[in-house]
Amino acid sequence: VDIVRNITLASKFYHATYMVSLLQPAPEVVELFDDVMLMREGQIVYHGPQAEMVPYFEEMGLTFFNDQAVADFLSEFLAD
């Protein structure tokens, strides 16, 4: 979490864009990102604001459960 928080601060300070690739990030880490790109088998499944991920996938018919973190759910969904 600290590394990603520092990257976020640096991107705002330097007005730069950083691209980070993470495998199964913790929910606290996902919440630090402004934009997220989710890929499956080399194809972009979602690219946009982190805050709009859940509504996007809910419009596609996915159901999120309150007891499961969004990042964990999407990691499982994209792995299937």
pLDDT tens for the chain, residues 1 to 80:
899 899 999 999 999 998 888 888 888 888 888 899 999 999 999 999 999 998 999 999 988 887 778 888 888 888 87
Q: Tell me, what's the pLDDT at 48?
A: 96
The residue count for the chain:
80
Cβ-proximal residues to 40 (8 Å cutoff; 6+ apart), any chain: 78
Q: Tell me, what's the pLDDT at 27?
A: 84
- How far is the C-alpha of 45 from the C-alpha of 79, rounded, in Å? 12
Q: What is the pTM of this model?
A: 0.76
Query: In the numeric block, which tokens belong to residue 44?
Result: 């972009």
Q: Tell me, what's the pLDDT at 49?
A: 96
Do residues 57 and 74 make contact, with C-beta atoms less than 8 angstroms apart?
yes
Q: Tell me, what's the pLDDT at 68?
A: 79
- How far is the C-alpha of 47 from the C-alpha of 29, rounded, in Å? 17
DSSP annotation of 52: G
- How far is the C-alpha of 27 from the C-alpha of 64, rounded, in Å? 14
Q: Tell me, what's the pLDDT at 15?
A: 95
